[in-house]
Structure 1
Amino acid sequence: MSLTDAPLGHHVAYPDQYDPTLLFPIERAANRAALGLGAAAHLPFHGADIWTAYELSWLNAKGKPQVAMAVVTIPADSPRLVESKSFKLYLNSLNQTRLDDEALLRERLAQDIGAAVGADVELDLIMPRDFAAQGIAELGGTDLDALDIAIDTYQPAPGLLRHAPDSRDGDIVEETLVSRLLKSNCPVTGQPDWGSVQIRYRGRAIDRVALLKYIVSLRQHAGFHEHCVEQIHTDIMRACAPAELTVYARYTRRGGLDINPWRSNAPGVRVDATRTARQ
């Protein structure tokens, strides 16, 4: 199947019966080939796509509606990702579905999504009793957006990336840089995707002005969230060759879903899944 077969960009009827076939998988291989990356077994990074579903509802055994949020973590080495509108339609197909308990819902979600992406997924349910404990925090790091610079490039320009002018071979820094100016466009509908990005690295210092210009250069780029993060990671690695690099983006929600991919070549890295204020 191709993207033209996906529900994204088409008028579709919302389902009222549970239907796991609504999930529309997309192969990761084509985009990775365009970046010059190999098969999943030989990727130069690891990571995950963290989805937050804010509009999850079903019926209990007595027909009473239940609500929850779900956090779904899809490994980056899965052969497929899921198209977001199909994910929304799938979740909505549970609205009139009777389930005996939370455990059955969790099992069904993990099984269906895992089958679509071709890998085991992590799935956490956040029940109403835990809603008040859900926090909001910004991505940590030095804010690049305060830089007062002129920008005129709005298509991906990896040639902008470079080391800091005063850095030298052998000079090693370890820093975290953040920007809220990440924007790209859906490759199917052209709708804007807004996000914040965090870049953690160890190596020769990266020119911060050049990095911010590069981040903004994705502004008119057409690419899925996951693909954009992989492109950022790949471009920085090729231009600046840090010993360790983690790229983490948190995108604002659409249709009750946000997608938050991260990619890293550093062993043992984990990311904080707390949502940002814009999410």
Structure 2
Amino acid sequence: MTTTDVSGLSQLGSKVETPRSPEEAVLEKVPNGNQGTDYVVRFTAPEFTSLCPMTGQPDFAHIVIDYIPDGYLVESKSLKLFLHSFRNHGAFHEDCSIHIARRIVDLLQPKWLRIGAYWYPRGGIPIDVFWQTGEAPAGVWLPEQGVPTYRGRG
């Protein structure tokens, strides 16, 4: 088993305030100790929040991020802080969802990434956002994200 080099990390193991905006948030990475093996990493954020850019009211989503790493993994505390930085950020559902995915892609250059952002209704209409970098590599077990579309109470 390999030991992960965490020497370059600035947030893990330290008390860090939540960034005021996604632009201020620092995403960090660590070397992938299993480089050369294709496997899926999944992050699930069932209580993601941002703000409506028009009304300032909170928006809520269940976000699932799947990726196949290459040379690096996203450090999970920095990802948590990045996601929390949206709590006071006003943006449309589509913008938040794609921004999250692109920041991770820019940081890691993974072999593949997809995001499923399952937003709760705004104005009576749920808006779900799905994006991926391309086809997943053949032979990788890729489970369904397991989040049903919004059905209300009925």
Please indicate, yes or no, whether the TM-score normalized by the shorter chain is above 0.5. yes
Cα distance, 1:233–1:239 mapped onto 2, change above 3 Å: same
Partner of 1:210: 78
- Measure the CA separation in 2 of the matches of 1:155 and 1:171: 35
The letter for the 1-side match of 2:148 is T
Percent identical: 22
Cα distance, 1:154–1:182 mapped onto 2, change above 3 Å: farther
Deviation at 1:159, TM superposition (A): 4.9
The higher radius of gyration belongs to: 1
**Whose RCO is larger (CA < 8 A, sep 6+)?**
2
CA contact (8 A) 2:64 2:116 kept: yes
- Measure the CA separation in 2 of the matches of 1:267 and 1:174: 13
Q: Please show how residues 64-213 of structure 1 align to structure 2 within 5 Å.
A: 151-157=17-23, 159-164=25-30, 167-168=32-33, 170=35, 172=37, 173-203=39-69, 204-213=72-81
Partner of 1:242: 110
Task: Specify the SS of the correspondent of 2:45.
Answer: strand
The letter for the 1-side match of 2:57 is Q
- Measure the CA separation in 2 of the matches of 1:277 and 1:180: 17
- Measure the CA separation in 2 of the matches of 1:168 and 1:159: 25
Deviation at 1:192, TM superposition (A): 1.0
The answer on 1:275 being equivalent to 2:140 is no
Task: Specify the SS of the correspondent of 2:79.
Answer: helix
Partner of 2:11: none
Greater helix fraction, Structure 1 or Structure 2: 1
Aligned CA RMSD, in angstroms, stands at 3.0
Unaligned runs of 5+ in 2: 1-14, 137-141
Deviation at 1:157, TM superposition (A): 3.8
TM-score by length of 1: 0.41
Unaligned runs of 5+ in 1: 1-148
* Residues 10-38 of structure 1 deviation map (CA, whole Å, 9 limit, x = unaligned): xxxxxxxxxxxxxxxxxxxxxxxxxxxxx
Task: Specify the SS of the correspondent of 1:219.
Answer: helix
- Measure the CA separation in 2 of the matches of 1:194 and 1:249: 10
TM-score by length of 2: 0.70
CA contact (8 A) 2:119 2:127 kept: yes
Partner of 1:260: 128
- Measure the CA separation in 1 of the matches of 2:122 and 2:67: 30
Partner of 1:88: none
